[in-house]
Structure 1
Amino acid sequence: MARNTGVVGSVALVTGAARGIGAAVVDGLVREGATVAAVDIDADGLADLADRSHGRVVPFTADVADAAAVADVVDQVEHGMGPVDVGVSVAGILRPGPLCETTNEDWAETFSVNTTGVFVVLRELARRMVPRGRGSLVTVGSNAGGVPRTGMGAYAASKAAATMLTRCLGLELARHGIRCNVVSPGSTDTPMQRQLWTGEEDLARVIAGTPEQFRVGIPLGRIADPADIADAVLFLVSDRARHITMQDLFVDGGATLRA
């Protein structure tokens, strides 16, 4: 008999759920027996996700950069679906470019989603988890938050900030039995990754590395699939990780050499 990992019968909330890593996390949680509140600005993507879930996914169209909208969604989920046991913050944006050419608007938008959005989502969920004395929160960060990247300064800084706020929250919530962890992917085959590509050779370049950008390749010789990242998230929210909190798990095929 398969071991109950604590996910069966739980209510989970996932942001950035409509595609890429977020959609893979939702699919994985559903397979593990959870009911999922899927949050994204992409209403069509959410509808597709819900249609294939056989009633296990409830879509909520909202922008994580809108604190009031996030609070409203969490209230709706708690009252309509039940207490949230698992929260996974995946929503993120990328505005690539050298820092000296980054506009104030691109900087602000990057942080509003990648950092403030994470803060608001985790805060709203944590406030409701604390009285119950249970819960697991995971932020999907980036290995760019742990090693410098050319042309990705705003993104890397926002992800580094989100990583530290998640770990600090984990320290504050540990006495309440709530765990907070980070999964930091490397290059993953998602729409965000592909927006950086200009031709068929780009995949090989990602795997091989680009010395002129001081970027190591991927030692395992493959780019990640969204399911690879989702599996790490599923582990951390499960009872198999019941003694793990405040950790930052790099899932990047060794690309950062865990610098």
Structure 2
Amino acid sequence: MSTSVVVGAGRGIGQAIGEDLARACPGDRLVLADIDADLVERVAATLRVQGVEAVARHVDVTDEKSVQDLVAETAEADKVAIAAGIFDSSPTLDVTAADFERILRVNTIGCFDVARRYAAGMAASGSGSIVAVASVAARMPRMRQAAYAASKAALRQSLRVLALEVAGSGVRVNTVSPGPTDTEMMRQLASDHASVDDLADGSLLAFRPRIPAGRVARGSDVAAVVRFLLSAESSHVLLGDIVVDGGELLGM
């Protein structure tokens, strides 16, 4: 039996990844972890009603002991998706060092810590796949997102280095970079638009290009790509970063 772990599975893209894996691999053990224990338990409970072997666990990616405990409990995991993250939007001239550090602590250092600890166990067993959720903000400057963009760019590059070092041990590490996606976090971002869906139209004021596909992503769009990267079908894909943005970056 395969074991999949989704970190940050309580809401948004992480929840979509967990639900997608449950549908695609109903016989596998699924561990859903999140800093909000009650929230992720509700997600797991819904899946259990559907016959999925889903368990919920608390994890705080900024707490090394918390991460160590989760990794030790799920040492057999061969597929790990990391979708934990926080977002803040404020004018760059107003961002404090504390603001910057808080976002880096979760989005970069915390997520990297999860990835490297699982990678160590997978390397010892000779196989495994890890996928983390980055962002197109790692490539394209976003107004009022200096800390967030930096955190995702740093995560993407640090995981590439990790991927290089563990590839010879049969471990694959990749990232997926969503564009605007209809999640609670994205609704916080859409303050310069009437709705999340209106982000597809772009904004000259926000220096945001139009999305050629004509819509923002759904969590399921991102989850499908994560599932592919975790699966054996992507066995020759590593150090990759698959963009799921409806063409917003124009393929750059």
TM superposition score category, shorter chain reference: over 0.9
If the length of structure 2 is used for normalisation, what is the TM-score? 0.94
1:118 deviates by 1.3
Equivalent in 99, 111, 116 of residue 118 of structure 1: 111
Map of 2:57 onto structure 1? 60
Residues 196-255 of structure 1 deviation map (CA, whole Å, 9 limit, x = unaligned): 234872335411111122210111001111000000000111111011100110000011
Residues 131-157 of structure 1 deviation map (CA, whole Å, 9 limit, x = unaligned): 111000101000000111111110000
Equivalent in 5, 16, 31 of residue 24 of structure 1: 16
1:29/1:35 contact within 8 Å kept: no
Structure 2 residue 127 is matched with structure 1 residue 134: yes
CA-atom RMSD in angstroms: 1.4
Q: How does 1:37-52 map to 2 (within 5 A)?
A: 37-52=31-46
Structure 2: state its 5+ residue gaps.
Answer: none
Same amino acid, percent of matched pairs: 39
Structure 1: state its 5+ residue gaps.
Answer: 1-8
Residue type at the aligned position of 1:228: D
Equivalent in 11, 24, 48 of residue 3 of structure 2: 11
If the length of structure 1 is used for normalisation, what is the TM-score? 0.92
2:163/2:172 contact within 8 Å kept: yes
1: CA distance, partners of 2:197 / 2:224: 24
3-state SS of 2:224 partner: helix
3-state SS of 1:182 partner: strand
Equivalent in 183, 188, 192 of residue 190 of structure 1: 183
Residue type at the aligned position of 1:71: Q
1: CA distance, partners of 2:16 / 2:205: 33
1: CA distance, partners of 2:191 / 2:165: 44
Structure 2 residue 144 is matched with structure 1 residue 144: no
1:57 deviates by 1.5
Change (3 A) 1:256 1:200: closer
